[in-house]
């Protein structure tokens, strides 16, 4: 129930939908019950043969304090006054009006419930996506994208039906049962009490059927998430898979999970499907027992027994009791699945987002002096990546980060735009602590170009303008020219309106990188962060990209990670990292003279080239 009430909170303001739903549902149930209650006077009208029987019936109805008494009085008086044929017409008209009203209010009830369902889905999906976007970058290094996608798309869809269907379970169906039982009690207390002794047996059997559904539903959701993850990895790495003849292995891996998911779903569906025939059989069994018991009461001539017309109406009403009971059974099956999905969604929502409290933070309006890292350490879990880093990045200077693979260069670069927070130590910009500044204002002073060359499945123009959605066409073209991209853009089929495809796969590596540089140029930040921006390029493309980078870094503060050390020899300061520590720093000439790690890296790279 704790999980359910948390999920229900996403339906707020629930009263906007719940109050009209309750009113419409209540009226629908009242008129729906009235439809069946009118069967008693209808049968009385048809069975009545003379004034003596009418009088006896009227006396009995008048002396009874039950729901149907007023209908009986009306029918009996009408038969005496207007005759059976006219009375039958009246009763039929009342039944038609009652059915019309019950269905009209049922439509409004379903309409309000659908509005609530859509509203809940909107709020839930918005909350999940917002929280995902607020998480630390490091979170996505450990989690599979397929699992996240499954939670945001599939699980959320299941949850919204659970939240709204449960409202029906706790309100509509129980209330319907109560109304039916009140009518049955008004007809025969003895027969109804006997009937109520049979219902718990049916409920016990049904509960055994759905008992394991929640665990199976959880396993099904997790398996589906794995399949989405396999699909995402397969599509993202399709070239590598084919290059290493791994197609069959990937097919088998996906198929194994697919079989598991299918088997789990088969078991769930079998249990759910078993509930309906079992409940139907138990319903027929209960009606048969009641027919036997009630029929014996009538045959025995018990003075307090039912009339034939009352007994027929009683059976008709009781048969309808199984409809809300069956709906309750089916709803409980769906609720188990929805609660399991809800727990997965809430896990994602409960994952602590980055920088949750920014209420006291102030904006950084400009960058004027320097960025300083003081005794900074950083961990991924239990693994220490950076150890006691002290570094000053002065305005207008170019700082190069070099060192062996795994030394911590990319992690250090990620700390500067606050993709991560250090485990210990402080980072300051113009002597203002990062934690005292809003994240957005820090990042607004920085531009990033990394080795991934990420592009959206959109036009070249929109990919460049992502840095500044209000940019004019002239500004976008100017940025492309600085990035040495204008020439090849004009050679594409639609120029700046050419779609680049998924992740830019219609373009070469060098072309994608130059569009990314143009995007950074358009943002015009005072600080540039370049993470191995030429590492995946051929020689010709690298020269074009390097020229674009040189244009980009002019009159800016730059922090550069480069795999080819020849490209950073003119940096103002070269920082050498090894095993998470700064082991050397200085100019190119100074580090060569020290004959340390930097010098060895230069010699190794020169030898390899």
Give the containing element (helix H, strand E) for 263: helix 247-300
Share of the chain above pLDDT 70, in %: 79
β-bridge mates for residue 545, sequence order: none
Q: What is the per-residue pLDDT across 440-458, written as a single tens digit (0 to 9) for each?
A: 889 889 888 887 777 888 8
Interatomic CA distance for residues 385 and 601, integer angstroms: 21
Interatomic CA distance for residues 150 and 254, integer angstroms: 16
The pairing of strands 383-394 and 370-380 is antiparallel
Give the containing element (helix H, strand E) for 378: strand 370-380
* Whether 564 contacts 534, CB under 8 Å: yes
**Residue 53: pLDDT over 60:** no
Higher pLDDT, 267 or 329: 267
β-bridge mates for residue 499, sequence order: 459
**Residue 391: pLDDT over 80:** yes
Which of 56, 61, 55 shows the shortest CA–CA distance to 41? 61
* Tokens representing residue 99 in the block: 């059915």
Residue 246 half-sphere exposure toward CB, CA atoms < 13 A: 13
The mean pLDDT of 98-124, rounded to a whole number, is 87
**Phi, psi for 503 (deg, rounded to 5):** 55, 25
Interatomic CA distance for residues 230 and 264, integer angstroms: 18
Decide if domain 2-350 falls under CATH 1.20.1560.10. yes
DSSP 8-state assignment for residue 538:
-
Give the contacts of 330 (CB within 8 A, at least 6 positions apart). Answer: 272, 275, 276
Higher pLDDT, 391 or 82: 391
- Tell me the CA end-to-end span of the chain in Å, nearest whole number: 66
Q: What is the per-residue pLDDT across 591-609, written as a single tens digit (0 to 9) for each?
A: 999 999 988 888 886 544 4
* Whether 165 contacts 331, CB under 8 Å: yes
DSSP 8-state assignment for residue 462:
H
* Whether 480 contacts 518, CB under 8 Å: yes
Give the model's pLDDT for residue 57: 41
**For residue 259, with 0-12 CB atoms within 10 Å meaning exposed, 13-18 middle and 19 or more buried, which class applies?**
exposed
Give the model's pLDDT for residue 52: 40
Give the model's pLDDT for residue 353: 67
DSSP 202-258: HHHHHHHHHTTHHHHHHHHHHHHHHHHHHHHHHHHTHHHHHHTT-HHHHHHHHHHHH
Q: The whole model's pTM is what?
A: 0.68
Mean pLDDT, all residues of the chain? 79
**Phi, psi for 555 (deg, rounded to 5):** 60, 25
Give the model's pLDDT for residue 41: 65
Give the model's pLDDT for residue 459: 92
Residue 68: band (very low, low, confident or very high) from pLDDT cuts 50, 70, 90? low
Which of 171, 179, 99, 173 shows the shortest CA–CA distance to 323? 173
Residue 190: band (very low, low, confident or very high) from pLDDT cuts 50, 70, 90? confident
β-bridge mates for residue 531, sequence order: 450, 561
Give the model's pLDDT for residue 335: 62
Class of domain 370-608: alpha beta
Give the contacts of 607 (CB within 8 A, at least 6 positions apart). Answer: none
Residue 33: band (very low, low, confident or very high) from pLDDT cuts 50, 70, 90? confident
Give the model's pLDDT for residue 334: 55
DSSP 274-334: HHHHHHHHHHHHHHHHHHHHHHHHHHHT-TTSPPHHHHHHHHHHHHHHHHHHHHHHHHHHH
Higher pLDDT, 447 or 161: 447
* Tokens representing residue 503 in the block: 């992740």
Comparing 2-350 with 370-608, is the CATH topology the same? no
Q: What is the per-residue pLDDT across 462-510, written as a single tens digit (0 to 9) for each?
A: 999 988 888 999 999 998 988 888 999 999 989 999 999 877 888 888 8
Interatomic CA distance for residues 39 and 91, integer angstroms: 9
* Tokens representing residue 188 in the block: 């025969």
The mean pLDDT of 224-245, rounded to a whole number, is 73
* Whether 566 contacts 393, CB under 8 Å: no
Q: What is the per-residue pLDDT across 531-577, written as a single tens digit (0 to 9) for each?
A: 876 665 666 667 777 787 777 788 889 999 877 777 788 889 999 99
Higher pLDDT, 352 or 252: 252
β-bridge mates for residue 374, sequence order: 426
* Region of residue 12 (phi > 0: left; psi between -120 and 50: alpha; otherwise: beta): beta
Residue owning tokens 């069956």: 326
The domain locations on the chain are: 2-350, 370-608
């Amino acid at each position: 129930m704790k999980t359910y009430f948390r999920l229900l909170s996403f339906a707020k303001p629930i009263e906007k939908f719940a109050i009209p739903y309750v009113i419409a549902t209540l009226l629908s149930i009242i008129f729906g019950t009235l439809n069946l209650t009118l069967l008693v006077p209808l049968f009385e009208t048809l069975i009545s043969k003379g004034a003596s029987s009418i009088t006896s019936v009227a006396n009995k109805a008048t002396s009874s304090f039950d729901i149907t008494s007023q209908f009986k009085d009306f029918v009996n008086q009408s038969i005496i006054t207007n005759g059976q044929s006219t009375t039958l017409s009246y009763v039929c008209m009342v039944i038609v009006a009652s059915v019309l009203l019950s269905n009209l209010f049922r439509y409004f009830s379903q309409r309000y419930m659908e509005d609530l369902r859509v509203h809940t889905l909107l709020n839930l999906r918005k909350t999940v996506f917002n929280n995902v976007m607020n998480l630390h970058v490091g979170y996505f290094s450990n989690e599979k994208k397929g699992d996240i996608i499954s939670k945001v798309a599939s699980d959320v869809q299941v949850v919204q039906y659970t939240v709204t269907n449960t409202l029906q379970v706790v309100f509509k169906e129980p209330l319907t049962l109560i109304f039916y039982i009140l009518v049955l009690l008004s007809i025969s207390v003895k027969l109804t009490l006997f009937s109520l002794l049979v219902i718990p047996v049916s409920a016990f059997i049904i509960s055994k059927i759905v008992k394991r559904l929640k665990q199976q539903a959880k396993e099904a959701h997790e398996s589906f998430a794995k399949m989405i993850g396999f699909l995402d990895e397969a599509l993202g790495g399709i070239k590598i898979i084919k290059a290493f003849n791994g197609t069959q292995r990937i097919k088998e891996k996906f198929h194994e999970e697919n079989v598991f998911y299918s088997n789990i779903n088969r078991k769930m569906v079998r249990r759910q499907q078993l509930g309906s025939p079992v409940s139907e059989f138990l319903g027929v069994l209960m009606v048969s027992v009641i027919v036997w018991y009630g029929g014996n009461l009538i045959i025995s001539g018990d003075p307090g027994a039912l009339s034939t017309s009352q007994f027929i109406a009683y059976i008709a009403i009781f048969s309808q009791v199984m409809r809300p009971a069956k709906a309750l059974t089916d709803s409980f099956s769906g609720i188990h699945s929805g609660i399991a999905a809800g727990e997965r969604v809430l896990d994602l929502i409960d994952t602590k987002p980055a920088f949750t409290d920014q209420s006291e933070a102030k904006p950084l309006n400009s960058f004027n002096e320097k960025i300083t890292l003081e005794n900074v350490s950083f961990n991924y879990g239990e693994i220490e990546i950076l150890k006691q880093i002290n570094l000053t990045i002065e305005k207008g200077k170019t700082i190069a980060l070099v060192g062996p693979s795994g030394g911590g260069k990319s992690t250090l670069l990620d700390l500067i735009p606050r993709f991560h927070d250090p485990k210990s130590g402080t980072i300051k910009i113009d002597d203002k602590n990062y934690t005292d500044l809003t994240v957005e204002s820090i990042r607004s002073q920085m531009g990033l170009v990394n080795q991934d060359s990420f592009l959206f499945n959109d036009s070249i123009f929109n990919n460049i303008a992502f840095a500044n959605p209000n940019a004019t066409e002239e500004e976008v073209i100017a940025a492309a020219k600085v990035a040495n991209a204008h020439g090849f853009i004009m050679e594409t089929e639609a120029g700046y309106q050419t779609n680049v495809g998924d992740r830019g796969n219609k373009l070469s590596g060098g072309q994608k990188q130059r569009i990314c540089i143009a995007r950074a140029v358009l943002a015009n930040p005072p600080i540039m962060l370049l993470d191995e921006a030429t590492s995946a390029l051929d020689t010709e493309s690298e020269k074009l990209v390097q020229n674009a980078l040189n244009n980009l870094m002019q009159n800016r503060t730059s922090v550069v990670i480069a795999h080819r050390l020849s490209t950073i020899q003119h940096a103002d300061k070269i920082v050498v990292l090894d095993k998470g520590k700064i082991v050397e720093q200085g100019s190119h000439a100074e580090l060569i003279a020290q004959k340390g790690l930097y010098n060895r890296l230069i010699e190794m790279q020169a030898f390899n080239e």
